[in-house]
Structures are given as structure tokens and as C-alpha cells.
Amino acid sequence: MQLLQIFSYISLLALPVFAQSSTQPTVKTLNGTYVGTFLPTFNQDFFGGIPYAQPSRRFVPAQSLNERFSEVRQALNYSVGPTGVKPGQGLPVLVWIHGGAYVMGSSDNIRYNGSFNVQRSSPPSIIVLQPMASLSGTNPEKAGLLNLGLKDQRLALHWINENIAAFGGDPSKVTIQGESAGGSSVFQHMLAFGGRNDHLFRSVISESGYWAPLMASNRAATYNATWNRLLSITNCSNIACLQALPLSTFNASVARVGSGAFNPVVDANSDEGTMFMTRGINFDSDLVNVILARNSTDYAFTSAADVQQILQLYPDDPAQGVPIGTGDGILSTGFQDKRSAAFFGDAVMVGPRRAFAQANAKGAATFSYRFNQPPYHFPMDTGATHFAEVAYVFNDRNNNTALPSNQPLGPRVIDAELALLMSSMWISFTHDQTPNNNLVAGAPVWPSYGPSGEQHIVFQGFGSGSFVENDNFREAGIAFINQKTAEVAKAL
């Protein structure tokens, strides 16, 4: 099985390169030649820091490279690939776009170490992409500065299309993969320019992608309020002032504006809601107040009747709440917090995942999953929450000593086995556009989703292991959420 994978770094395309020399690997791109280094531990070549755009100021649309150089340049940051792969070898390509609410995260996060999957897939390579922050609001719109992050990603995909053959990749076999904001970016690239993909990718993997905030009924007012808050915090009055701020000052200001402040304009885990819930919910009135307060940013409910319907569809029954499978016990933070976690997880993450699967399955092979494995050392009130699956997908076994607080794969056999299964299925999908050529003995068959049957795989290591189920949990509540979102979308 073969895989060519891609990773991310701010304004750089960190690129693993395959060359003929294991001591000084080189690759010749359209712009010039880069030299990397050999990693004997993994028998992989290491390249990175290769620019895919011209240097530019902050919040300026990225422009394609327009120069060639004759000297050999070093490329030594953040990416790896198997040694010995030759130009034109025709390997499939996997492009990774990390998450971080469009305001944080970077490619040097050790949890995004692709060496283990490169080693497993025999042979692949890795490239790195970075989802940039995008301005939103009336003033940036007038200046033509919306969706700069997505446009930056798009330019990187064009660079890959033009140069990946030199690394042994096939530009017609690109899969784009992302998680959280990266997963949302994947959705948006599918929809951009009226669904035109410009032959930049043939398939996608979205982990915990979302779009509900993009459908909020008063999103323009919300985006303008965010823009004004950013100006207030930075003591700026225009875009030019923001562009001139030192990077440290700008980053600190964005952190104060808050997560989701730079959402672009346009699969899920069992317990996503423990990340997106509001805690401290003890009474029905508490939940009503929070739903109304978050209505402008997180979903599309437009009336008091909608909220009352939500209370009926998400009853005050801890056994039906999130984390799933925790019975009648309550969370220590609030009597109705499991109810809150069920609703907000469905509104922000789970509902969009199901709606996308149902729609996409009408025209293309679609594979959906529910990640249900509480990672090692995660507390009971967190469960299989947002981002929990990432270490399993990367099969990243070497982080336990480097980042013990951030690495869910601990010493348990069930985690190692589940990581092998998931990473192998991701590799199989990238190579063959099906997850079922994964070479894992005893692996369950992952069925294609609908229209004959809406089934997905449940990934877990405990009990009897991973299995297939009908995708109908909290069916009525999620159907109502998706119905309201569709109504608002049609009115936009």
C-alpha cells in the first residue's frame, strides 16, 4: 500500500521529498532545487520550509511564486517522506490541514508526526499546510479580504498540483484531510467556486468538520461585532494598522477576541459536546438562556417555539446525555450538563456530519464514523471528545514521553490496536478510495453510507472492539437541528 501525505506550517509548504540519495536527498521543483536530510530511524527523507507563495504582508491575498533560482536551497523544517522514491512514480497524495478554530495551531505540533503512517504505508511522503486566519465583517468584505485563509490553502493545493510529480506523487490522486477547522476547510473547498475543484483533489476526509456557525441567522452582525472588538483591543482603526502590528501583539489580541473569531464566510466523535457545551446548567431556564445567547454564532434557531422544541427533543434524562454510555449519573458541574453536552454537540458538530453524509452519499461513495474510545487518562466527564481521535489516525506512538499531557495513546494494548486499525483505514482510503483494503487482520468491513442504508463504523478499543451500527442515535433531535439549518441556508 502506498501513500503520499501532506502536513502544515505557517505560509510554508513543508514537503517531504523522495530522492535517490539517502545522505543528501534533493528535489527539483518548477522554481528550483531543494536539498533535505535523511532520517535513519525511519528510513525517510526530510524536507520542509518550501514556500508556495510570494512573501507578503499580513491580510494580503497570497500570490503565486514568480521567480526561479539556480542555487540549491536547504529545506529542513517539519516534514518527512520515505527515501528512494523517484520523480513521476505516481503515488497517491494526502494533504493534512490542522484545526485550531482558524486562530491557533501549527504544523510543528508533535501530535501531527506523520512518520509512523509513512512507515506503515510503504512508501509515502508528507506535505504540510496551515489554515490561516481570515478576516470577517463589512469593512474586510469591501476591501476584498474575506476568506484569506482558505485562499491561501487553495494556492498551496495549486502548488502541489504543479510540483508533486517531482516528489513521486500523482497530482490526479490527491486527498485532502482536516480536523475541526481543518475539517471545515475541507468542506469549504468542496463547495468553493460553485463546487469546482480545479482538479486539485479527488477525495476528502473531514474529521469533526462543522458549518453550523456559518448559518447563524444574524451572522453579519456577529462578524461586524467581532471585527469591531479586534479593532478596539488593538487600538487600531483600519486594516493597515492591523498589518503593521508586531506578530506577538497581533497574536495576543486575536486570543482575546476568542475562538471562532475568524471563521470563513460561506465525522464526529461520540462526545463532541463535552468540548462545545456550556457547563453549569441546573434548570430548564438555564439551558433556554444559553441557547438564546449562543443563537447568533452557533446555529440557526429563530423562535421561542424552536427552543421549546429543543427541550422536548433533548429531555432532562442523564442516561440520554453526553458522554454517551455513562448512565444516570450527572456531571459534577451541573445537574443538566449532560443534556447541554448532547444538544450543543449535535448542533455544532454531529448534526452537520450527518447532514453531509446524507447529502454526499446521493452522488458519491461516502464513509462515516463515530469515534467512541475515551483516550488514556481522559476524565470521565470528557469522554471521546473533540480532537480525541487525532493521535489514533496518526498512529503516533512516540509522543508519550515527549508530551505526556497531550498524547492520548498511553501504554494500553487497546489503544495501539485501534490506532493501527484507524490509520490503516485512512491510508487505504487515500490509496484506493475505500477504507477496506487496510491489511489489518480481522478488521470490520466499513460500509458505504446510504442511500440504501445509513450505517457507519464505531471506532473503539474496549468491549468487542469496533463495529458497524445504524446512524440513528438522537435521530429526532438531529433531524430538527438540520432542518432549521437548511431553512436558514435557503434564505441566505
Active site residues: 180
> 38 pairs with which residues across the strands?
45
Nearest to 212 by CA among 280, 295, 89, 315: 295
SS (H, E, C) the chain: CCCEEEECECCEEECCCCCCCCCCCEEECCCCEEECEEECCCCEEECCCECCECCCCCCCCCCECCCCCCCCEECCCCCEEECCCCCCCCEEEEEEECCCCCCCCCCCCHHHCCHHHHHHHCCCCCEEECCCCCECCHHHHHCCCECHHHHHHHHHHHHHHHHHHHHCEEEEEEEEEEECHHHHHHHHHHHHHHHCCCCCCCEEEEECCCCHHHHCCCHHHHHHHHHHHHHHHHCCCCHHHHHHCCHHHHHHHHHHHCCCCCCCCCCEECCCHHHHCCCCCCCHHHHHHHHHHHHHHHCCCCCHHHHHHHHHHCCCCHHHCCCCCCCCCCECCECCHHHHHHHHHHHHHHHHHHHHHHHHCCCCCCCCEEECCCCCCCCCCCCCCCCCCHHHHHCCCCCCCCCCCCCCCCCCHHHHHHHHHHHHHHHHHHHHCCCCCCCCCCCCCCCCCCCCCCEEEEECCCCCCCEEEECCCCHHHHHHHHHHHHHHHHHC
Nearest to 201 by CA among 174, 182, 178, 221: 174
Query: What is the per-residue burial (b if ≥16 Cβ within 10 Å, else e) of 173-212?
Result: bbbbbbbbbbbbbbbbbbebeeeeeeebbbbbbbbbbbbb
> 127 pairs with which residues across the strands?
6
Q: Name 482's Cβ contacts closer than 8 Å, sequence gap at least 6.
A: 351, 352, 354, 355
